[in-house]
Amino acid sequence: MSLVLVSTPRFGQHTTPPGHPERPERADVFDAVADAWRERRGSVVEPRPASFDEIRRVHTARHVAAIEATRGRAAMLDMDTFTSPETADLALLAAGGAMTALERVLDGGAATALALVRPPGHHAEGDRAMGFCFYNNVAVAAAAALARGLSRVAIVDWDVHHGNGTQHTFEHDARVLYVSAHESPLYPGTGAADEIGEGEGRGFTLNIPLEGGATDGDYQLVFDDIIVPVLDRFGPELVLVSAGFDAHRSDPLAHMRLTSAGFGRVARSIAAVAGRHAGGRVVAVTEGGYELSALGASLDAVIRVLAGDRAWLDELTVAAPTGRGARAADRARAAQSAEWPGL
């Protein structure tokens, strides 16, 4: 099975103030991961910038103008979201990286693609930057897939933070199933189990808030018991992934206990869903992940899985569930019972 990585060293040029966790060194990890994939004769392609038309499917013209106005200078857009002179260009390139990955999978013969991008995207709302994010990269790719005529697109967001921007973009839209497993309580504070979508989109937002301390076993339980069953009923034509790695046990921003193999296991569950419904098509886009060695090792695990190498996970012992996963799955099941009967 073919996997394409989307990567460019340019993502290191988006700089943030000293001590900021979303720092340029994260791009060095992406570059090392891409180099290792090239050495294995894997395919690595450069991202293209997103067009303003593509961005405006998700963001208001006023928001785009606000980001463009930071071109060439440093600006603070919220308490923890800062531009540097190159940021306006690189935000377009990050969203375009998601587009390049999408195009490789829809048109380019790749089964799976992983865009190694920063700045991240899933907190960016239609009308504002937020939480280190400027444009919502995965939402731009999902909107493009809809514009091309797809009518069932799943977005699975395993970043430890809730993807408020992605949820809000599609919560009225039954064509996009947004699924998030995230720590709660934690930034940004959204993503309660009873946020299940609005109007025609009711049932097409699935939130799994988890208490801090959840293990690989808890995540596996949540995927097996609720995420995969809902995805199977939805029957996606394409699966997008907001691939954050800040639920890793070493990450400084949260309190989860996932290992790098744990990310491999959730990727395997998603790839299996894609295999059953979507011709195996998975487009993953990076989000958070702030401990550099954990970020690299977790990306390696996901790359192995997306490239079709999955049996190695069976050799590893899975950390026992703690009850956090079961409680979270029960809450989500209760909230969704009217929309997905018999779950």
What phi-psi label fits residue 81: left (phi over 0), alpha (psi between -120 and 50 degrees) or beta? beta
**Binders in 45-74 for Zn ion, by CB under 5 A:** none
CB closer to Zn ion out of 278 and 294: 294
CB closer to Zn ion out of 225 and 246: 246
Q: What are phi and psi of 335, to 5 degrees?
A: -70, -30
Residue 238's DSSP bridge partners are 153
R_g of the chain computed on alpha carbons:
18
Sole binder of Zn ion in the list 163, 191, 244, 262 (CB under 5 A) = 244
**Binders in 286-305 for Zn ion, by CB under 5 A:** 288
246 counts as binding Zn ion under rule CB under 5 A? yes
Instruction: State the nearest-atom distance from the C-beta of 83 to Zn ion, in Å.
Output: 19
Q: How far apart are CA 161 and CA 242, in angstroms?
A: 11
Contacts of 187 (CB under 8 A, 6+ apart): 131, 161
Instruction: State the nearest-atom distance from the C-beta of 336 to Zn ion, in Å.
Output: 24
> CB under 5 A: which stretch of 2-10, 80-88, 245-253, 255-263 binds Zn ion?
245-253
Instruction: State the nearest-atom distance from the C-beta of 258 to Zn ion, in Å.
Output: 12
Instruction: State the nearest-atom distance from the C-beta of 133 to Zn ion, in Å.
Output: 10
Residue with tokens 């959730």, as numbered in its chain: 266
CB closer to Zn ion out of 157 and 195: 157
Active-site annotation holds for 14: no
Instruction: State the nearest-atom distance from the C-beta of 246 to Zn ion, in Å.
Output: 4
CB closer to Zn ion out of 159 and 225: 159
Instruction: State the nearest-atom distance from the C-beta of 164 to Zn ion, in Å.
Output: 11
Contacts of 83 (CB under 8 A, 6+ apart): 67, 70, 73, 74, 75, 77, 134
CB closer to Zn ion out of 264 and 288: 288
**Considering 59, 63, 122, 123, which one is annotated as catalytic?**
123
CB closer to Zn ion out of 154 and 160: 160
**What is the per-residue binding string for Zn ion in 157-186, x denoting contact by CB under 5 A?**
--x-x-------------------------
Residue nearest to Zn ion (CB): 288
**Binders in 133-162 for Zn ion, by CB under 5 A:** 159, 161
216 counts as binding Zn ion under rule CB under 5 A? no
| Interface ranges with Zn ion (CB under 5 A) | 159, 161, 244, 246, 288
